[in-house]
């Protein structure tokens, strides 16, 4: 068979466009391309690992500063004794006087403060958030949902300092004047505001969980004659419990880690409310302590290191909660995948 001139022209054109290359090359044939793609992958991996690096650096640098708070002394016996005394002091005393001589670093009141506002806010935010999620997933028609979702999103978007501002300028005087509470900056105030801030997180995560339960389970329940309330409470919510617990944990994390609102609205008093159920007492949280004292503490002083210890406690606490929530959400996804 002789080749026509057009045929060879076409071939030449195809060769110049690179179409005559085989579709798949072995590494030996295309060394440059192979190495290029490998380095490209490695580069991408390194960039993607930047978040790992960030988390690592955060842990290392916070822990390094906190380390000096616990480890002082020459001989192992000295170090051990110092460490033991420190741990006892930090978790066994409510006296936080880091600038006095001798300084006292009892963090119990601060931890209790964080606990109070977090617990108070969760108490309000969980029913509110869960009911809203139910509303969004099962009750509202599409158009109403389109209106209600942005409301929740806007609540999440408002900066925390604006919430704090609101708490100080409006809620505080309102509590004082309407209810005659001596100081409007107290657990109640901070908890209410934190609840509003935690609701969007709870709503979005638990709504996902409720939706993930799927129609068949709901339809089966309705077919058995259950009302909507019974279906939700007895069937859907129990089926979505992993996701809902994760939602509550994430909401709690938001409240524990929040700084500005509790700094501005919780009253800044280093005490455990007395009696314990009195929510109109002022407290001071761990985050607020860091914010309050971090700005004008001499670097490398013991006080400075003690603040990093608070930071480390917060970091570890949120890390544990986060891992827990992820575990629960992972289980939810695993289950959802199964028919």
Partner 1 sequence: MNVRLRRIANRGFTGASVLSVVLLTAALLIILGPMLFKGTTAVFFHGTVEFRKVQLHEFSRGDPAALAKEIAATEKAREPIYRLLDEFRRGIDTGRLEGEARHVYRELGKQLKHRKGVGPEERIRIRRFFRGLRNTLIDAYECTDKDEARALLKEVLSHAQDERLAGTVGERLFRMARDYQELLETFDLGKREEYAAALDEVQQAVRNLFGPEAGKSKVGMPPEDRFGAHRMDMVRRYADDLLYAETWVEVEKGRPLVKKRIPREEQFAGTTLEPLFGLFRDNVDAMFRPRFTVYWQYFLDDAVPGHYFGGVGEEILGTLTVTALAIAFAFPLGVISAAYLVEVAGDNVVVRFIRMSINTLAGVPSIVFGLFGLVFFVMLIQALSGGAHKGECVLACALTVAVLVLPVIIRASEEAIRAVPNSYKEAALALGASRLRCFVTVQLPAALPGILTGVILSLSRAAGETAPFLFVGAAATTDPLWEYAAWDWPWQQVQMLSYGAYDVAMNDRIAGMVPHQQWGMVMTLIGLVLILNILAILVRSRVSRKLRGG
Restricting to residues 2-41, name those near partner 1 by CB under 8 A. Answer: 19, 37, 40-41
Q: C-alpha distances in angstroms, 61 versus 47, 52, 295, 298, 305?
A: 21, 14, 18, 17, 11
CB of 159 to partner 1, least distance (A): 3
Binding residues for partner 1 restricted to 216-245, rule: CB under 8 A: 227-230, 232-233
Identity of the residue, 88 or 144, whose beta carbon is nearer to partner 1 in the bound complex: 144
**Residue 209 touches partner 1, criterion: CB under 8 A:** no
Shortest distance, position 38 Cβ to partner 1, whole Å: 11
- The tokens describing 283, both together, are 């407290």
**Mind giving me the DSSP string for 195-236?**
HHHHHHHHHHHHHHHHHHT-HHHHHHHHHTT--HHHIIIIII
Which residue has 């801030």 as its token pair? 197
Residue 279 neighbours by CB distance under 10 Å: 18
Q: Return the residues of window 85-144 that contact partner 1 according to CB under 8 A.
A: 127-129, 131-132, 134-136, 139-140
> Smallest Cα–Cα separation from 121: which of 244, 311, 257, 246?
257
* Residue 152 beta carbon to partner 1: minimum distance, rounded to whole angstroms: 7
By CB under 8 A, is residue 208 in contact with partner 1? no
- Judged by CB under 8 A, the residue of 98, 106, 243, 257 near partner 1 is 257
- Whole-angstrom CA distances from 71 to 98, 105, 306 are 17, 15, 12
Candidates 71-79, 86-94, 209-217, 283-291; binding stretch for partner 1 (CB under 8 A): 283-291
CA–CA distance, 264 with 73 (Å, rounded to integer): 39
Contact range with partner 1 by CB under 8 A, out of 206-214, 235-243, 271-279, 312-320: 312-320
Measured from the CB atom, the residue of 107 and 314 that comes closer to partner 1 is 314
Residue range at the interface with partner 1 (CB under 8 A); choices 4-12, 81-89, 96-104, 309-317: 309-317
Q: How far is CA 209 from CA 99, 273, 333, in A?
A: 48, 37, 9
- Residue from 54, 123, 220, 224 that binds partner 1 (CB under 8 A)? 54
> Site for partner 1 (CB under 8 A): which residue of 8, 29, 35, 61?
61
Whole-angstrom Cα distance, residue 246 to residue 202?
Answer: 9
Binding span for partner 1 by CB under 8 A among 84-92, 162-170, 239-247, 270-278: 162-170
Query: Does the footprint of partner 1 cover residue 337 (CB under 8 A)?
Result: no
Q: Is 83 in the site for partner 1 (CB under 8 A)?
A: no
Size of residue set near partner 1 by CB under 8 A: 83
Candidates 12, 15, 31, 169; binder of partner 1 (CB under 8 A) is 169
Q: Which is nearer to partner 1, 109 or 310 (CB)?
A: 310
- Does residue 246 touch partner 1 according to CB under 8 A? no
Rule CB under 8 A: is residue 302 a binding residue for partner 1? no
Question: From CA 332, how far away is CA 213, in angstroms rounded?
Answer: 9
Smallest separation (angstroms) from partner 1 to the CB of 318: 5
Binding flag, residue 62, partner 1 (CB under 8 A): yes
| Helix residue ranges, H only, the chain | 5-17, 31-48, 50-70, 76-92, 108-134, 142-157, 160-166, 172-179, 187-212, 215-223, 228-230, 237-239, 241-257, 260-265, 286-294, 302-337
**Segment interacting with partner 1, rule: CB under 8 A, options 80-88, 216-224, 235-243, 289-297:** 289-297
CA 145 to chain centre: 25
Q: Which of 77, 79, 111, 74 is nearest to 92 (CA)?
A: 111
Q: Could you say which of 81, 99, 153, 278 contacts partner 1 (CB under 8 A)?
A: 153
Q: Would you state the structure tokens that stand for residue 293, as one six-digit string?
A: 């004292």
Our CB check for partner 1 shows the closer of 35 and 58 to be 58
């Amino acid at each position: 068979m002789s080749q026509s001139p057009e045929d060879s022209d076409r071939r030449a054109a195809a060769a110049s466009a690179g179409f005559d290359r085989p579709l798949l090359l072995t590494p030996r044939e295309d060394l440059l391309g192979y190495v290029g793609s490998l380095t490209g992958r490695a580069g991408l991996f390194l960039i993607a690992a930047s978040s790992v690096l960030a988390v690592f650096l955060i842990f290392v640098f916070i822990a390094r500063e906190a380390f000096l708070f616990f480890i002082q002394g020459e001989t192992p016996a000295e170090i051990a004794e110092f460490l033991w005394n420190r741990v006892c002091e930090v978790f066994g005393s409510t006296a936080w006087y880091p600038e006095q001589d001798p300084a006292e670093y009892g963090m119990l009141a601060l931890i209790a403060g964080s606990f109070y506002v977090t617990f108070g806010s969760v108490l309000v935010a969980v029913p509110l958030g869960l009911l809203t999620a139910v509303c969004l997933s099962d009750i509202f028609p599409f158009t109403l949902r389109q209106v209600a979702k942005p409301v929740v999103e806007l609540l999440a978007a408002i900066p925390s300092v604006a919430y704090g501002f609101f708490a100080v300028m409006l809620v505080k005087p309102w509590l004082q004047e309407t209810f005659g509470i001596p100081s409007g900056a107290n657990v109640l105030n901070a908890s209410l505001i934190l609840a509003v801030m935690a609701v969007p997180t709870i709503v979005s995560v638990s709504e996902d969980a409720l939706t993930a339960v799927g129609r068949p389970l709901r339809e089966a329940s309705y077919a058995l004659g259950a009302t909507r309330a019974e279906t939700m409470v007895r069937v859907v919510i129990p089926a979505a419990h992993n996701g809902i617990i994760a939602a509550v944990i994430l909401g709690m994390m938001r409240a524990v880690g929040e700084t500005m609102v509790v700094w501005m609205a919780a009253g800044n008093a280093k005490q455990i409310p007395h009696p314990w159920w009195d929510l109109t007492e002022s407290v001071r949280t761990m985050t607020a302590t860091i914010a309050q004292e971090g700005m004008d503490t001499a670097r490398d002083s013991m006080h400075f290191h003690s603040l990093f210890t608070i930071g480390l406690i917060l970091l570890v606490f949120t890390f544990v909660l986060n891992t827990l929530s992820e575990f629960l959400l992972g289980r939810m996804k695993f289950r959802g995948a199964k028919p």
